[in-house]
Amino acid sequence: PESTIVIDDSAYKIRLQANNQLHISEFDLAADSAQLQGDDSLIWSSLYLEHVSNGGVAIGDVREKVKHTSYVEFLKQGKAWLLETHGSDADIGELVGWARSRPEFEAKFKNVEGNTIGSSLPAPEPVMAGAQV
């Protein structure tokens, strides 16, 4: 528990993890389809996870960090900072270099052989019917 964050869109599901939770908003494609370009929830939650985990290096009890700065407070402070330092037209995705499309993502993450990361992995071996695994 001291190195675990539970991420869910249901407050009910994570109610027992008061100091280990990241409660994100529920994604509703029908309601949000027009808003996809402006959706920065994944970016902010990723930045928060980096913040509470010291950039991915778990040092100390993450529950203390979550207790000290909740996701809601982090988001409020982060958006205020973005507005103050970069203006009302600022895009956190552009600022941190977040790819907005699959082709943009693939273009950023090419391995040394020129293949997209993951595309050079061998195909899984077929499982024969009746074979024991």
pLDDT per residue over 35-58, tens digit each?
555 678 888 888 998 888 876 666
Specify whether the CB–CB gap between 57 and 41 falls below 8 A.
no
Confidence (pTM): 0.66
pLDDT per residue over 58-103, tens digit each?
677 888 888 888 888 999 999 999 999 999 888 888 888 877 666 7
Cβ atoms within 10 Å of 105's Cβ, excluding its own: 13
The residue whose two tokens read 């402006």 is 38
